[in-house]
Every structure is written in C-alpha cells, then in structure tokens.
Amino acid sequence: MVVRVRVRNAETGATVDMELELDNTVEEIIDGVSAYWEKDPGAYVIRKGRRLLRGQQKVQELDMQPNEELELIPDPEGGNR
Amino acid sequence: MDMESVQLRRCLMVGAGALGNEVLKCLVLSGFRDITVVDMDEIVPSNLSRCLFFREEDVGRAPKAQVLAERASSLDSAVTIRPVVSRIQDAEDWDFDIVLGCLDNISARLHVNSHARYHGAPYVDGATDGLSGKVHTVLRDGPCLQCAMNRSHFKVLERRFSCTGRDTVFYQPKMAAEITTTSVIAAVQVREAVKILSGAEPIRHLMHYDGFSGSSHILELERDPGCSNHLLP
C-alpha cells in the first residue's frame, strides 16, 4: 500500500509530496527530502503537529490524516563558538 | 519558584562559549550559588563579539572556564563558581542536582546526556544555529536527547566546531553564534532549570525557536525503545 505524504521545508516554506510504503521510516523521509531540496549536510528532524517523530518510526505508525503535513526542521547543534 | 532550594543545589554547566556566557549570567542572577563550569578551550578573538564576560586582554591569557568563572563571580559575592579546564569526556565528578548543556557538538551532548541520566541529574540542553535554537529538557522518567536523534545526527556526530581547531575531526564552517538567539535560548534553559528544581512542570520535551518568524513550538517526544540510555532501570 502506498501512502501520499506532504512534507514542508521549515526553512523555505516549500512543500513536496512523497509516495511512501507503510514500512518506510522517518529517517528515509529525511534522507529523501534532504536530497530533493539539496540540503546542507547536518542534523534534521521531522515533526507532525506537536510530536517530534523518532527516526525509526514507520509510516504506518504515523496515523497520517488527509491534508496533514510533516515538517522538516534543522536541528541546531551549535552554541559554544 | 522555590529560590531557597535553588540556592542550595549543585549545578554543572558544560561549555563556556557564547551560550555558556549567557547561561552563567542568568544562573548567577537567578540565585544559583554553587556552579561548576567545564570547558577545554581558550579564548580567541572571534569569541569577543558574542561573549559577555570575555575581554580583549583575555585572549591567550587563560582558558574560557577560568575567565568566565572569575568574571561571573563578580556579579554576586555569594556565588561559588568552580572552573574545570577539561573535555567533559574526562570529567569525573557527576554529583550534581542539575546539568545545563551549552555545547557545540553532538558527541559531547550524547556524553552529557548519558552521564546526567545515569547519575539521576536532570539535563537542560541548549543549542543554536543562527536565528534558530532549541531547548531540550531531559528528566529521569522521560525521553532523552538520544531518543530525539536519527541517522542524520549520527552522520555529523564526530564533527567538532572548536574555536581553536583542537580535536577537530571534520570542519565545516557554520553560522557563528547570533547573540540574540543565544540570549533567548540561555534564558529559557535557566528558566527550565529553576522550574525543575522548584518542582514545577518544565517543557516536555523540546522547544524549537525560530527567530526569523519570532515563533516557537513545544514538541513532544516518545522514548525510543531502542535507546541504550533506557536499558538501565
């Protein structure tokens, strides 16, 4: 079964629609959209509403609703420079 | 807030750079009286534009932790600030009531995360990148920093953005600390530390801040069942 998922780029506001298998993981979504948007190497996370998704979570666990979006957020790692 | 209790607690602050300067200012002015500061670096000229307590004459004079402890102590004669010039990976004392992370790399964060959790100390981690930032509260019963990480974090795990270049494994220039973002994140970190030590409900579990839009989001996180930090009871 294929699930259509929309992901928003928090830095630009751009969106992309992905067709995913139920056993695709959040990490695979991050890899896919990072490559699509040619993101700089770095740490990224995905949120669904108020929930930060774990990398190993599968699409079938996300309980995506129609028109619901995921959002790709850069995960800051600085602070000591 | 229970400020009498806060004054009695031992606080560990890891990292004495831009975020560490702001956090220590807030800690002292919030009433913390027993603070240990760990950092291995020396002060370089680029620190001066974003570190409240550093001066030109400090460049090359003494390590960051030592200068920071000296200068912040002048804010309140009742505070004791112990500088430890060391990598956090070499620190042995973990007998603290709360830990604040002001670090610049994932490797050190994971070390503090696991040690604070093992020793039962709440951990409040701060991070910035340009106009965005994050505060993550790690409590004994909740998900930890590692639970929030994924493959993208581990790809950059060994990067080291040291000012001096010491221990640099892989270097890629990033945006330098932006002081207004640093101030926001530091203030939230110390506020959460005071709440935790006062028995109030802290952020669960992360606050992401976006300075471009002026917005912030509280994000909930679940424990990762595969996270090694939660295998111990």
Q: In terms of residue numbers, what domain contains B25?
A: 3-216
Taking only the tens place, the pLDDT of each residue in B97-122 is: 999 999 988 999 999 999 999 999 99
Q: Decide if B19 is inside a domain.
A: yes
Return d(Cα B210, Cα B164) in angstroms, integer.
29
Q: Decide if B78 is inside a domain.
A: yes
Q: Do A76 and B182 touch (CB under 8 A)?
A: no
- Domain A2-74, classified CATH 3.40.50.300, yes or no: no
> Does B218 touch chain A if contact means CB atoms closer than 8 Å?
yes
Q: What are residue B41's phi and psi, to 5 degrees?
A: -85, 165
Return d(Cα B76, Cα B80) in angstroms, integer.
9
> Does B40 touch chain A if contact means CB atoms closer than 8 Å?
no
Report CA torsion sign: B135, B137, B142, B147.
positive
- Cis peptide bond upstream of B205, omega within 30: yes
**What pLDDT band is residue B165 in, cutting at 50, 70 and 90?**
low
Taking only the tens place, the pLDDT of each residue in B166-217 is: 555 444 545 667 899 999 999 999 999 999 999 999 999 999 999 989 999 9
Three-state DSSP state, B79: coil
Return d(Cα A77, Cα B146) in angstroms, integer.
13
Angle (deg, nearest 10), helices B179-198 and B18-30: 40
> Around B7, how many Cα atoms within 13 Å sit in the side-chain half-sphere?
8
- DSSP state letter for B156: S
Return d(Cα A66, Cα A17) in angstroms, integer.
13
- The CATH code of the domain that includes B13 is 3.40.50.720
Residue B94 · residue B116 · CB < 8 Å: yes
Return d(Cα B213, Cα B23) in angstroms, integer.
24
Q: Decide if B225 is inside a domain.
A: no
Mean of the per-residue pLDDT values of chain B: 90
Q: Please tell me the pTM assigned to this model.
A: 0.91
B162 → chain A, closest CA residue: A81
Q: Decide if B155 is inside a domain.
A: yes
Would you state the pLDDT for residue B171? 42
ipTM of the complex: 0.90
Is residue B109 within a helix (H) or strand (E), and if so which, with residue range? helix B106-118
B146 → chain A, closest CA residue: A54
Taking only the tens place, the pLDDT of each residue in A46-56 is: 999 999 999 99
Return d(Cα B147, Cα B231) in angstroms, integer.
12
Q: Decide if B34 is inside a domain.
A: yes
Q: Decide if B233 is inside a domain.
A: no
Q: How many domains does chain B have?
A: 1
Q: Do B104 and A79 touch (CB under 8 A)?
A: yes
